[in-house]
């Protein structure tokens, strides 16, 4: 004898439906709460960041940090600031450590 599932007609009031659903959307895990204006303040940095991310994927922040460190060692302040800005867009904590001289 086959068994057939009959869904509850109550919908969202069912105990199982309430247990498995969230009443409101939860913030995305990677959402750091920065306003869009902060991210879009310098379109050229955003464009460079997106291109850098497209090339390096999830390693993009570390790559930007390495390039910033290399520019700092060679005394290229403008290049350092460029890579620091890209690093900041990708990972603010990593950029803070880079600015403070820590690793």
**pLDDT bucket at 101, cuts 50 / 70 / 90:** confident
Indicate the domain borders of the chain: 34-99
What percent of the chain lies above the pLDDT cut of 90? 50
DSSP type of residue 9: S
Helical spans, DSSP H, in the chain: 15-20, 36-39, 43-56, 60-73, 77-90, 92-99
For residue 46, give the H/E element and its range.
helix 43-56
**Phi-psi group of 57: left, alpha or beta (phi > 0 → left; psi -120 to 50 → alpha; rest → beta):** left
Most confident of 14-23, 27-36, 45-54: 45-54
Report the distance separating Cα 80 and Cα 74, nearest Å: 9
């Amino acid at each position: 004898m086959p068994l057939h599932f009959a869904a509850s007609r109550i919908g969202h009031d069912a105990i199982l439906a309430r247990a498995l659903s969230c009443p409101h959307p939860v913030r995305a895990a990677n959402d750091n709460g920065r306003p869009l204006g902060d991210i879009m303040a310098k379109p050229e940095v955003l464009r460079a960041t997106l291109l850098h991310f497209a090339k390096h994927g999830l390693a993009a922040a570390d790559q930007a940090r390495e390039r910033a460190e290399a520019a700092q060692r060679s005394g290229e302040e403008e290049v350092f600031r460029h890579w620091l800005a890209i690093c900041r867009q990708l990972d603010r904590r990593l950029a803070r450590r880079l600015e403070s001289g820590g690793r």
